[in-house]
Amino acid sequence: MFEIPDTDKKIRAKISSYKSAFNRELKEHGLISDGYGKRYLMFPLLLVLNDGKKSQEYINWHDSQFPDDAGEPIQMLCRSLINYRLGSLVQARYELAETMLSNVYLLPWLTGEDIAIYDMWHTSNFAMIEHCEYIPERVIESITGEELGWIGACYNSVQFLKVRTRYIEIFAALNQASDPKERSNLLDESYGLLEGFEKFN
């Protein structure tokens, strides 16, 4: 499990070390491969640090370097909460919906709601319920009661419920489907489930 340092000074030092590693890769190879996943670990560090300016700078940089990055559930949750704190509520809500679809267990696990285990196809280990255990303790501690209330309100809203229900139906069908055309059609539908959500471009 990824451990977040216990002081702001140590968190800033780790953020600085990751940025230096990114810059070295760019200088030496002209691109960032980041097999270790530092780009994801930056988000929980920044959430706990709660430095709005640094967070916004990193989000801008991340999106310029990894425009098509699929993301990882814990990173996506932290990014959503960072945008919530920055006042970018439309973007935060969209990213929370993305988080929900990246791991359907994560949001209810976080808010303490009942969790159903679904007989569905999971795209990777990131999408399994066990992945919830990888949320750093300091991330959980940093989430305020107000933020948990916002997460719960979004999760239980009609729009989130509709998208989540259809997503689970699709991936339950994918668990049984073997025909390539059928699987392709189901996956295409799943990619468009968030089209009704507003977001910043």
In a domain, 3, yes or no: no
In a domain, 200, yes or no: no
Are residues 127 and 102 in contact, defined by beta-carbon separation less than 8 angstroms?
A: yes
In a domain, 118, yes or no: yes
In a domain, 201, yes or no: no
Predicted pLDDT at 199: 77
Predicted pLDDT at 200: 62
Of 143, 159, 56, residue with least CA distance to 100: 159
What value does the mean pLDDT of the chain take?
95
The type of residue at 65 is: Q
Over residues 23-43, the pLDDT tens digits come to 998 888 888 888 789 999 999
Domain assignment of residue 180, given as a range: 8-191
Q: Average pLDDT, stretch 154-176?
A: 97
Over residues 94-143, the pLDDT tens digits come to 999 999 999 999 999 999 999 999 999 999 999 999 999 999 999 999 99
Tokens 């988000």: give the residue. 43
201 pLDDT exceeds 50? no
Q: How many domains does one find in the chain?
A: 1
Sign of the C-alpha dihedral, residues 47, 88, 108, 124?
A: negative
Are residues 54 and 19 in contact, defined by beta-carbon separation less than 8 angstroms?
A: no
In a domain, 124, yes or no: yes
Predicted pLDDT at 182: 96
In a domain, 38, yes or no: yes
53's tokens? 């300016």
In a domain, 76, yes or no: yes
In a domain, 197, yes or no: no
Q: How many CB atoms lie within 10 A of CB 134?
A: 14
